[in-house]
Amino acid sequence: MYKKIVIQLLLLTTLFVIIFAVFSIYFKKEENIKETTLEIEKIVGSEIDNETGTLIKDLSYSFFDISGNYYELFSDFGKIDLNDSKKIFMTNVKTLIYLKNSSPIKITAKNAIYNKVTHETNYYTNVKMTHLIHKATSDNLDI
């Protein structure tokens, strides 16, 4: 009689240990995540505008934010603002945003203003945003 109870308790204890181990391994939140900012800027193929010297062809920027999300910005043409060199006026813009633990978000627009320092982007004219099966259109989008 005691032998049967001891075996049942051992099996029950083993079951709880296995369940606890599985939950602690697969559902444990990462607590020691280091927050780093890594900025990568690429300018591919430049072409100088004869009037201002600021026209850039096939422009591309990519960077990580503090949360670990990754952004890629592509443009057919970019023109640096003469009054504020941090701002770039972009034409035919495509952006891919890779959020942590989510599928990518794609944004396209005819025009955008990009700030190289703060990474703020103001999209305008035929803005389209897609994420999974969701699609949104707008005249303006500020990120």
Domain assignments of the chain as residue spans, ordered by start: 39-142
State yes or no: pLDDT of 48 exceeds 70.
no
Across all residues in the chain, what is the average pLDDT?
81
Q: What is the pLDDT of residues 86-131, one digit of tens each?
A: 888 999 999 998 988 888 899 999 999 998 888 889 999 899 999 8
Residue 109: which residues within 8 A CB-CB, separation 6 or more? 93, 123, 124, 125, 126, 127, 128, 141
For 7, phi then psi, to 5°, come to: -65, -45
**pTM more than 0.85:** no
State yes or no: pLDDT of 50 exceeds 60.
no
CATH number assigned to the domain with residue range 39-142, chosen from the 4 options 3.40.1000.10, 2.60.450.10, 1.10.3720.10, 3.40.50.10540: 2.60.450.10
